[in-house]
Structure 1
Amino acid sequence: MNSKLQSLLKVSTEIDTTVFQRTTSCLVIAPHPDDESLGCGGLIARLCDLQIAVHVIFTTDGSMSHPHSRNTSTAARCKMREQEAISALRILGVEEKNITFFRGKDSALPARGETGFPGFVAQMIGIIDGINPELVLVPYEFDPHRDHRASWQITIAALEHYPGAEIWQYLIWLYTLGKEGDVEPISNIPGGIQYLPMGNQLGKKRTAISQHKSQLIPDVFDDPDGFILVNEVLQNFYGDKEYYIKQVKS
């Protein structure tokens, strides 16, 4: 872990959750199936326990975790990852009817200025129009993975006409792949990194993560070079705190 990030986590303070008192709907943006459970699974479970409707959008199809699979097609891998996400979210309390898959190309989600970006923004606006979320959870703006950055950009563009929504950024690859330039912007954000205690939601979160078997068990997709969530990575998400950055409204 980057030393700057370690320092910021050590001085993090508990996040103010009074927004929950005026929240009836929350929108979660996940670049890939499993990001929802890893980055904000505990918060999703807590919101559901509070009877707050949670809606989740997956922006990519997750197809590139095992591109050289010898026993499944791209379509089959995408389908399995979607089913894993549905199972994980069911454990956290999210109804399947509140889950949307945009199925953008994994590792090629268009960023601002790239072909296809306006189309994803329009899709997201269509959903926001229907649910009017008071709280939006989105990946950290400078997450090292391009799909995470693009997901943030699409979300912010879609929310331009919804200034009332509170935005919390969650961390994924910043823990293990973040460089100084990725972490430094946090120092200029009031409040910096803040944490949410997991409490009783930790068990649900860990069970939800376990549903993403294709990302945990090496031979599910039979790709020797495929991606697997190793223990070193998982430990960043198994603790008794989830970390967030409250986005400052411009």
Structure 2
Amino acid sequence: MQSSQNRVLVVAAHPDDEVLGCGGTIARLSDAGAAVTVMFFADGVGARSAGGEIRQPELTERRKAAQTACRILGAEDPLFFDFPDNRLDTVPLIEVTQTLEKVIDEFRPDSIYTHHAGDVNADHRIAHQAVVTACRPQPGRDVRKIYFFEVASSTEWQTPGSAPSFQPTSFVDISETLPRKIEALKAYAMEMRPWPHARSIEANEHLARWRGATAGFKAAEAFMLGRELL
């Protein structure tokens, strides 16, 4: 497979979202020669303490897991930022967007993968809006494609009518890279839950098989195409 996406940026709210949403695609793109960078706005653990204080052992473990997952998938070493976990909606959007813009200016991706607008998690929705805002189509911009992914235990938990529903328009065949996605999910063992929780290994494999079946593949990841400039 020759990749038409040479520089890919995955914009995730928390470590593990990148694997849940597009881990198989990251592996496929990196195998095809694309340079893939993953960035995280928040640590994913701060909201678990009463006052939002960061527990250093948990933070260290989560970041090591993210680095391991990126190595498994073939992505570059991830970028970590320190916005408040599960409180991105308390930060002015311009601050989140400007942080992303700096990464875009440095990395100059031609494609971006990020969260769907209708996720039940507020941080996911802010990450989505930051991408849409930072990637306004203006002359001289490098970003040509934007894709929105689904995150099991967030996207499907939104209730009908409360937000836009996830209706995939693009499917990536991950029949060959699904084992690496599963391996990367296992790096986040502290975040995974036992079946039949939506954030279990089994649920994510079933989702990949179902998305594949709907597109004629053995396994797939589904996306909504946000924008494509040709």
Do the two structures share a fold, i.e. TM-score over 0.5?
A: yes
Aligned counterpart, 2:71: 90
Q: Please, which runs of 5 or more residues in structure 1 have no aligned partner? A: 1-16, 217-227
| TM-score, normalization by structure 1 | 0.75
Task: State yes or no: 1:138 paired with 2:122.
Answer: no
Q: Tell me the distance in 1 between the aligned counterparts of 2:225 and 2:35.
A: 20
Q: Report the Cα distance in structure 2 between the residues aligned to 1:245 and 1:142, rounded to whole angstroms.
A: 12
Aligned: 1:232 with 2:197: yes
SS at match of 2:197: helix
1:67: Cα distance to partner? Answer: 2.9
Residue 48 of structure 1 aligns with an amino acid whose one-letter code is S
The answer to whether the 8 A contact 1:29-1:58 is kept is yes
Secondary structure in structure 1 of the residue aligned to 2:85: coil
Q: What is residue 81 of structure 1 aligned with on the other side?
A: 62
Change (3 A) 1:148 1:73: closer
Q: Secondary structure of 1:95's partner?
A: coil
Q: Larger relative contact order (C-alpha < 8 A, sep ≥ 6)? A: 1
Matches within 5 A, 1:32-43: 32-43=14-25
Matched, 1:179 2:159: yes
Question: What residue in structure 2 maps to residue 170 of structure 1?
Answer: 149
Counterpart amino acid of residue 101 in structure 1: F
1:102/1:229 Cα in 2 relative to 1: closer, same or farther (>3 Å)?
Answer: farther
SS of structure 2 residue aligned to 1:141: coil
The residue identity in structure 1 corresponding to 2:147 is: W
Q: Distance in 1 between matches of 2:127 and 2:42?
A: 9
Identity of aligned residues (%): 24
Change (3 A) 1:193 1:182: farther
What RMSD in Å do the two structures reach over aligned CA positions?
A: 2.6
Post-superposition Cα deviations, 1:169-228, rounded to whole Å, max 9, x if no partner, equal: 0001455412112575556xxxx4432221110110000000002213xxxxxxxxxxx4
SS state at 2:14 partner: coil
Matched with 1:215 is: 191
Residue 63 to residue 185, structure 1, CA distance change in 2 (3 Å) = closer
Structure 1: distance between partners of 2:44 and 2:194: 14
What is the CA distance between 1:116 and its match in structure 2? 3.3
Q: Which residue of 2 aligns with 1:152?
A: 128
Are 1:44 and 1:54, in contact at CA under 8 Å, matched by a contact in 2?
yes
